[in-house]
Structure 1
Amino acid sequence: MAKKGFFSGHAKSSAALISLGIHAVLIVIALSFVAVTVIKKEEQVFEAKPVSRPKMQLKKLQVPVNIKKKKVQKPKLRKNIVAKPKTKSMDIKMPEMTGIKGGMGYMDEGGLGGIGFGLELDLFGGNKGSGNELEGRFFDLKMGPDQKPSDLAVSNTGDGEKDKSAEKEKNNEFIEAIRSFAGSWNPTRLERRYFQAPKSKFATMFMVPYMKAEEAPKAYGVENEVEPRRWVAYYNGKIAAPETARYRFWGIADDILMVRVKNRLVLDANYPNIKGKITDWDSDDPRNRKLKSGKEQGYVIGDWFHMTKDKPVDMEVLIGELPGGYFYCRLLIEQDGVEYPKGKDGRPILPVFKTQPIPEKLLPQMQIDPGVATADGPVFGVLK
């Protein structure tokens, strides 16, 4: 019998060895693939981490940079720099602030009081305003805008009776002209037809005692051009109440004093002989025109009107003179619900209407009767 070879005798063992070898090779290949895959995945994770780190470092770096800037002494230098001009600015402004009282433009020591910054002061207003005044414009109805005689002018003939009759007729025409104006209260009607003084006046009150009627043209700088009769002065501006309440005016005049608030006529205190000739307004208070003071006629008591605290409203005033001679007007104000001290005839002693405190130097000129009125009381200026 022939001798079997090694592999023939160990066929099963050889097959097992071959199978093991093949599996070993496959395992090596598989492990190599897994290793490569794992290495690639780890590399991807490793690359992602450095991307996020710089962002965090940038944010951290910004904080110390800002802190260092705050620690720099620049703010102190800035304060020192600002302090110098500030001191100079105050040195310049301080004289302007001295004496300020009650509103813009009040300078008591200079006698400029409640009439603004005017260098000249009179009872018809100052020459300049600060915003707390009513601006007044003066019109002579005897002349046209070109200063030529208007239809209300009278040419003196030398015949006393004839000239007197002509003056009376022109006074009636004057009343009609004012009635026409009072229908709209449009100052353009006056500007287009009559002579207007070049300058304005700025008033904070209307407390003119008996004085010659020529003082009004003089106050407006036209005393050489205007004869002191058949003139009017129209004032308008803003007022504001110091408290929310109802108010009303008390007024008196020789010859014309009319007041509108919020485009409504609230007082017609014209001289009694022209009552009802310019407007149809009348008071409903039983004391109307019965409370007199000295030579003056009785005070006219106006209509109530409502005002909200510190809310500006429009106010208009018309004063005027018909035949010449003497003129006066007074305007007081009453607040509903306030108990006032009693004066003559049991009347309330009311405050003078004003948009700024009244300067002491002006009080003697106003000749206020202490039994009728007081310079103390509320201020109705729009600038506090």
Structure 2
Amino acid sequence: MSVPAIVMQESDVSFGRGMGDGLGELGGGMVDRVNLSSFGFDRALEGTLKGTLFDFKRDKYAKPVKNLPAMKKSTNMPLIPFFQPTVRKFSDRFDLQQLDRNFYKAEQNLYGSYFIIPFGSAAIAPKSFGVEDEIKPTMIGVHYTGSYKPQKTGTFRLVGRADDVLIVRINGKVVLDGSVVVAGNPNYSAWRQSASQFKKDTEAGMTYFGFKKAFYALTGDWFNLREGVNTDVEIFISEVPGGDFGAYILIEEQGVPGLKIFSTRPLSDQDKAFLERLHPDVKEFLGRED
């Protein structure tokens, strides 16, 4: 599914002042202003994925969903087993109509091309979508969908993690589930990492962007990309009990050492400047140029 685009040349974009809490501005000659947060641009740009924020505590009419566990100041952990079947059902087919039919969503869409959300307060999600006074940062999720044309032919895999949920689908196949699964609860998708890769990731125990040691990076399945050929991408990220939240997606090319930031459009100097402001770890992944 292609996303309508406002085509901007790099030369038309200049980096503006920061807005706090990971927010920034991009502005240029072809549009008056494009706001940017960790969750994406506030306008569709060429190669971006359309992101929609859903509030799974309420139905499409903004009424509380049935049998929602009572939320407490001390812990909202009961929300996890309640919410998990909803995500699992969605991740089987990435049926966006299922979410549209059943849950409340923010009016503002954001358009992402890279996904680096350092570990921090879950409140950044509704704030980025402009609904911090309307949607509490518990049992929320953002669905991204769109297509892009890769700049390079090759075999790749994604590396990522989220607290709580990160599921990525490329051309109709889930290639990574970097979610945190609480003991005793089922997985959020049918994707399973190979035993050998699980062992490698566990032994390496690599953590990035402020994530806790227990939430080390997970490596996805290999998939093929062809230069200039439309590639469908769907991403679902979610926070369940509230409090802390973060998510990131990196990419590795087969036969090429090191990881880079996964992006569906070339990173401009302005993009790189924005990313470097998010977290010091970014520099490691921006330093590997093709």
**Match for residue 362 of structure 1?**
274
Corresponding residue for residue 132 of structure 1: 47
Secondary structure at the aligned position of 1:112 is classed as strand
Select 1:151's aligned residue among 63, 66, 71: 66
Relative to 1, partners in 2 of residues 1:153 and 1:372: Cα closer, same or farther, differing over 3 Å?
Answer: farther
Structure number with bigger Rg: 1
Residue identity matched to 2:200: R
- Which one of the candidate residues 170, 175, 183 is aligned to 1:261? 170
Partner residue of 2:21?
none
Opposite residue 238 of structure 2, the aligned amino acid is G
**1:301 has 2:197 as partner:** no
Secondary structure, aligned partner of 2:86: helix
TM-score w.r.t. length of structure 1: 0.62
In the alignment, what sits opposite 1:119? 34
Structure 1 residue 370 displacement after superposition: 5.8
Change (3 A) 1:206 1:155: same
Contact 1:256 1:320 in 2 (8 A): yes
Q: Calculate the TM-score normalised by the size of structure 2.
A: 0.81
Aligned mates of 2:26, 2:176 — CA distance in 1: 29
| Aligned partner of 1:252 among 149, 158, 161 | 161
Structure 1, unpaired ranges of 5+: 1-95, 341-347, 379-384
Provide the rounded CA distance (Å) in 2 between the counterparts of 1:270 and 1:152. Answer: 24
**Structure 2 equivalent of residue 325 of structure 1:** 243
1:281 aligns with: 191
Instruction: In structure 2, give the amino acid aligned to 1:356.
Output: P
The Cα shift of 1:210 comes to 1.6
CA separation in 2, counterparts of 1:242 and 1:207? 20
Equivalent residues in 2 for 1:41-52, closer than 5 Å: none
Closer, same or farther in 2 for the Cα pair 1:318/1:368, shift >3 Å? farther
Query: Which structure: greater helix fraction?
Result: 1
Which segments of 5 or more consecutive residues in structure 2 lack a partner in the other structure?
Answer: 1-5, 17-24
Q: Does 1:200 align with 2:99?
A: no
Change (3 A) 1:168 1:205: same
The CA distance in 1 between the partners of 2:287 and 2:113, in whole Å, is 12
Q: Deviations over 1:314-369 (max 9, x none)?
A: 0000000011001111110011122x2xxxxxxx3x11011231524413332142
Using the TM superposition, give the Cα deviation of residue 243 of structure 1 relative to its aligned residue in structure 2, in angstroms: 1.8
- The total of aligned residue pairs comes to 262
Aligned partner of residue 135 in structure 1, secondary structure: strand
- What's the RMSD between the two structures over aligned residues? 2.7
Structure 1 residues 14-163: aligned runs within 5 Å? 100-101=9-10, 107-110=13-16, 111-112=25-26, 119-151=34-66, 153-155=68-70
Following the alignment from structure 2 to structure 1, what is the Cα–Cα distance between the partners of residues 100 and 86? Answer: 13
Q: Distance in 1 between matches of 2:243 and 2:116?
A: 18
Preserved contact between residue 152 and residue 170 of structure 1 (Cα < 8 Å): no
Contact kept, 8 Å, 2:211 with 2:246, in 1: the verdict is: no
Q: Distance between the aligned counterparts of 1:181 and 1:108, measured in 2? A: 39
Question: Residue in 2 aligned with 1:86?
Answer: none
- Deviation string, structure 1 residues 237-269 (Cα, Å, up to 9, x no partner): 112222211111000111111100000000000
Identity of aligned residues (%): 26
Higher strand share: 2
